[in-house]
Amino acid sequence: MVLSIPTKAKLLGPGDSQGYQVMITRDISERGAFLKTRSPFPLASELKMILDMGKFLVKVLGNVVRVEAEGMAVVFTWSNVAVTGM
């Protein structure tokens, strides 16, 4: 079963003024995820993501470790869970 989670991702670093891009996960685990997007970030980019799990928002930092035509693979480096609207 493929777990598709709505995700917002944003590049981190000096001079990165872009806002969040909306993406969908294709595969996800406790260590990382593959994000489907037509505009993947460059290899080795550091990014901030927000995974919308319904009643939970998971905030994640990660690094792009693989780029493909349909998206990018990200390894998580930090995460935090916030409970929403209970």
19-71: pLDDT as tens digits: 888 898 888 888 999 999 998 999 999 999 988 888 888 889 999 999 999 99
> In angstroms, rounded to a whole number, what is the distance separating the alpha carbons of residues 40 and 54?
25
pLDDT of residue 84: 67
- How many angstroms separate the CA atoms of 54 and 77, rounded? 23
Q: Please report the domains of the chain, with CATH numbers, ordered by start residue.
A: 6-83 (2.40.10.220)
Task: In whole angstroms, give the CA distance from residue 81 to residue 51.
Answer: 9
- The position carrying tokens 């460059």 is 42
What is the rounded distance in angstroms from the CA atom of residue 52 to the CA atom of residue 22? 11
36: how many CB neighbours lie within 10 A of its CB? 17
